[in-house]
Structure 1
């Protein structure tokens, strides 16, 4: 399986877990100038932006640790773009989660992994 397919499969696993939590999908793979969002959900008045990081091995640190400050800024930029395109979401509180996925059955889900500046 290629890298793109593994990333897509990782997103599918995270999406299934989010839906089991009762979260409603808002958008998947939102592309904006300066950034991209993997998965976005809404539950009540909270918007949950989920960054999925797949790693086949842990040799280079955890998948979640690979979300650098630069990557965080890009996610925040893409979130602002989404809010501009869907103003009804602007009143929601926003939470940024990171989910590390590897070849095991475990998801390393970090809620409130970072905050928008």
Structure 2
């Protein structure tokens, strides 16, 4: 876990702004661990597709598809509980679409970064290989 500073830095008025702020915190955390940003907010074309918040490359060359979740309360299981089966399926769908651009896809995994703003400090928790392609 990483502590990112006081809560006053998290002032955002809309859910979109809060999501963008959480993605920025997650990206900073991952970059501090040596991962390199490839793409942000990758979306599949058409309705009903999926989105990947961050696509990064790990030091070992693996492509990492990252879902960022943020919650300001621990009620209802917090941020981790909000990544259900259907959300995972949409992320996997988007990852498969993204991988079509590679002749030989690299090793990849699905990580989750949780940003908790419920306390006096903002915390980031990185869950490597949080789920598998179904």
TM-score (norm 2): 0.80
Matches within 5 A, 1:1-117: 1-33=13-45, 34-43=49-58, 44-84=60-100, 86-87=101-102, 90-103=104-117, 104-117=121-134
Supply the distance in 1 between the matched residues of 2:37 and 2:133 (Cα, whole angstroms): 21
In the aligned structure 2, how far is the partner of 1:96 from the partner of 1:18? 14
Could you tell me how far 1:21 is from its partner in structure 2? 1.2
Task: Decide whether the 8 Å contact of 2:99 with 2:105 is kept in 1.
Answer: no
Residues 62, 100 of structure 1: 8 Å contact kept: no
Please tell me whether the aligned partners of residues 29 and 124 of structure 2 are also in contact (alpha carbons under 8 angstroms).
no
1:64 CA displacement: 1.5
Pick 1 or 2: higher relative contact order, CA cutoff 8 A, min separation 6. Answer: 2
- List structure 1 segments (4+ residues) > 3 angstroms apart after TM superposition: none
**TM-score of the two chains, using structure 1 as the length reference:** 0.91
Q: Shift of the alpha carbon at 1:102?
A: 2.0
List alignment gaps of at least 5 residues for structure 1: none
Unpaired runs of 5+ in structure 2?
Answer: 1-12
CA distance in 1, matches of 2:75, 2:22: 19
Distance in 1 separating the partners of 2:112 and 2:31: 16
- Please report the RMSD computed on the Cα atoms of aligned residues, expressed in angstroms: 1.3
